[in-house]
Amino acid sequence: MSQSTDQQRTPLQRHPMARIVPALVLCCLGLAPALAESPARPEELPENPNCEERATRLTHPGGATLATEYDVREFGRLYRHVAGDLTIEGSGVRDTKALACLESVDGDLWVMNSPNLLGLSLTSLKTLKDLWIHDNASLRTVQLPALTQVTRPASGPVGGHLRIQRNPQLESIDAPHLTHLAGALELVELPSLVGVGLLSLQQVEGHVLIRTNASLPRLVLTSLLEVGGSLGIDNSASLVQVNLFSLKSVQGDLWVGRPPDSHQAPPGSARLTGNRQLERIYVSSLERVGGLLAITHNATLDRLDVPETVTTARGIQLRDCPRLSSRSVGLANNPQMTVCGLSDSPSCSRSSQAPLGAPSP
């Protein structure tokens, strides 16, 4: 049967090129896929893609992991949006310039365990649901110039976080247009960090934790108005200045220097304690603290800006601040106040000790 069938074919049909030629014709006409090509090498893909090209307008369904330079460049060449999670992880990733067209991640973005990653730059990224950057041994800079908000996913209450942890070489974080976090802000164990560029951040619905950043000289969050959880800044030995000029309310604890001991301080307490280098604290717009406002054991503190009408649930304690000399603390409109301590501060003005419930002189 097969022999008679072969005899019925024309010489052209029996020729080895009989199958290849029609495929080439169809390919040229756009009616069939091109013949398989060998994969491009990373250097053959664009490092800085043209975001105006049609090819970069696609949406990836999510779940991708970029582990090599080729993965990063190929992904950046094709996709502008991610409908789910995206992970950057692997020793083959050195930078993220090729992701310059990425605008949104409708899920978690993980950048982790990439020992050769020197810089994280996502110049077009505007929104995402979670950003975790951790355990990248060589990472020096984080640049998010277009990011405006980190939101929670519609499917649940968890998310909206910006967490940057355990990156020993990280020196600077820059997100100048970020205004809103639906979750938490955590900058933890970044011993080389010297610059935090979050000057537009106004609201954090979760907590704020700035911890174990040995080189950080100052924390400036001058636009921050409200923190929905606790706000803690501790274990940062080089910290000289904390500027929270616009901060009005903190729903949980507030501390700079030493976390509140739950056995000694009520929930919602504020403690500014034990900062060996701290010279200046600006909380000039603070309206209410849910517990005790304690400013203690700050040997070099010489400037404290606290509004005279701040309301506290349990009082104000000011002690062991020998260099504090030019600030009186008013205790007005605090009918629940039971504690008012001004002790071991020989340079503090005694006129600041107004009667409970009365305005300071």
- Cβ-Cβ contacts under 8 Å for 20 (sequence gap 6 or more): none
**98 in helix, strand or coil?**
helix
pTM, 2 dp: 0.78
Give the start-to-end residue ranges of the domains of the chain.
1-37
Give backbone dihedrals phi and psi of 97, rounded to 5 degrees, phi first: -60, -30
pLDDT confidence bin for 339, thresholds 50/70/90: very low
Residue 120 has pLDDT above 90, yes or no: yes
pLDDT confidence bin for 20, thresholds 50/70/90: very low
In terms of Cα–Cα distance, which of 56, 153, 150, 151 is closest to 102? 56
Q: What pLDDT shows up at residue 302?
A: 85
Tokens linked to 143: 């640049």
Q: What pLDDT shows up at residue 208?
A: 94
| 329 and 295 Cβ atoms separated by less than 8 Å | no
- Per-residue pLDDT reduced to its tens digit, 61-102: 999 999 999 999 999 999 999 999 999 999 999 999 999 999
Q: How far is CA 344 from CA 125, 188, 323, 340, in A?
A: 51, 33, 11, 13
Q: How far apart are CA 231 and CA 286, in angstroms?
A: 13
| 196 and 173 Cβ atoms separated by less than 8 Å | yes
- β strands within 113-191, DSSP E: 119-121, 127-134, 141-143, 149-150, 162-165, 172-174, 180-181, 185-188
